[in-house]
C-alpha cells in the first residue's frame, strides 16, 4: 500500500511549478540512505515524479538526478546524457550518448578493470568540480520504471554516472570520494581550463596530486 505521508509529501512537491528546486549539500536528506521503492507511491504518482525529475534534470542542466536531490528519500534516479563534448574528450572519457532512463532501487559493483579519474560536478554542490577516481566498469542491477529487471555491465562515462547517482541513494556525495586538492570553483578561468581537458593530468601536475596508475 502507498505510504500516505510520503505520498502527501510527493503530491505537495509536484504541486509546485517545474523545475523543482534542487536540495543543496548540507541538507540531511542527502546524507541518509534512501528507502527502497516498494509500493509507497501509486504507479500514477511515481510516473509524475519521474517526469518532474526528468524536467528538473534537463533544466539544471545535468546528466543525472537522484530523488533525494529534490527532497524525496526514495531509491530512484534518472539519467540522460547527450554527450555533446569534443571528440577528444569523448574518446578519453568513454563518454557516449545515453538515452533517458529510470533506475529504481539501483546498486552497482566493480565488474573488473581499472580505476579511472576525471573531474565531476554535482547539482547539489553547485559551482565546484573535483577529480574522482571510480570503477571504469560496473555491473548495474536495478528495475526500470515498469518494474522490469536491469542487469548489465556499464563502461566509461555512463558507469561514472551510475556510480554517482547510486551513491546519492546511499547518502554519499562525490566530494566524499574526491581528491580534495583538485577542488576548483567553476568561475575561475584556470579551473575551467583544467577540468575541460580530456584527462585531469594537467590538474594533477599543477595542483600536486596523484592519479590512479601513476607514481
CATH code, domain with 28: 3.90.45.10
List pLDDT tens digits, range 179-205: 999 999 988 898 889 989 999 999 999
Q: Does 215 map to a domain?
A: no
Residue pair 69/30 in contact by the 8 Å Cβ criterion: yes
Q: How confident is the model at residue 160 (pLDDT cuts 50, 70, 90)?
A: very high
For residue 212, being part of any structural domain is answered with: no
Residue 105 in any domain: the answer is: yes
Joined together, the cell numbers standing for residue 26 give: 548540507
Write out pLDDT tens, residues 17-43: 999 999 999 999 999 999 999 999 999
Sheet holding 115-120, edge to edge: 115-120, 128-135, 178-185
At 157 the three-state DSSP class reads helix
Residue 164 included in any domain: yes
What is the structure's pLDDT at 187?
Answer: 85
Within a domain: 157 = yes
Total domain count, the chain: 1
Within a domain: 58: yes
Query: Which residues participate in catalysis according to the annotation?
Result: 165
Q: What is the pLDDT of residue 63?
A: 98
State the Cα–Cα distance between residues 160 and 64, nearest whole angstrom: 11
Residue tagged 580534495 (cell numbers):
180
Q: How does residue 1 score in pLDDT terms, banded at 50, 70 and 90? A: very low
Please classify residue 44 by burial: count the beta carbons closer than 10 Å to its beta carbon, then call 0-12 exposed, 13-18 middle and 19+ buried.
exposed
Please tell me the pTM assigned to this model. 0.95
Q: CA-CA distance, 53 to 146, in Å (whole number)?
A: 16
Range of the domain at 147: 4-207
Amino acid at each position: 500500500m502507498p505510504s500516505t505521508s510520503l505520498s502527501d509529501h510527493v503530491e505537495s512537491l509536484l504541486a509546485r511549478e517545474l523545475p523543482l528546486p534542487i536540495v543543496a549539500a548540507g541538507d540531511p536528506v542527502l546524507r541518509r540512505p534512501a528507502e527502497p521503492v516498494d509500493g509507497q507511491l501509486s504507479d500514477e504518482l511515481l510516473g509524475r515524479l519521474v517526469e518532474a525529475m526528468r524536467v528538473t534534470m534537463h533544466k539544471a542542466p545535468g546528466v543525472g538526478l537522484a530523488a533525494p536531490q529534490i527532497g524525496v528519500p526514495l531509491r530512484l534516479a534518472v539519467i540522460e546524457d547527450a554527450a555533446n563534448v569534443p571528440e577528444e574528450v569523448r574518446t578519453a572519457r568513454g563518454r557516449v550518448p545515453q538515452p533517458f532512463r529510470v533506475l529504481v532501487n539501483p546498486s552497482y559493483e566493480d565488474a573488473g578493470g581499472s580505476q579511472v579519474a576525471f573531474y565531476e560536478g554535482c547539482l547539489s554542490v553547485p559551482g565546484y568540480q573535483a577529480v574522482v577516481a571510480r570503477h571504469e566498469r560496473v555491473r548495474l542491477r536495478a528495475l526500470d520504471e515498469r518494474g522490469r529487471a536491469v542487469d548489465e555491465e556499464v563502461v566509461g562515462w555512463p558507469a561514472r554516472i551510475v556510480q554517482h547517482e547510486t551513491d546519492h541513494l546511499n547518502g554519499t556525495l562525490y566530494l566524499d570520494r574526491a581528491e580534495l586538492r583538485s577542488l576548483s570553483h567553476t568561475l575561475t578561468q584556470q579551473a575551467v581550463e583544467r577540468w575541460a581537458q580530456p584527462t585531469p593530468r594537467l590538474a594533477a601536475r599543477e595542483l600536486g596530486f596523484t592519479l590512479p596508475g601513476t607514481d
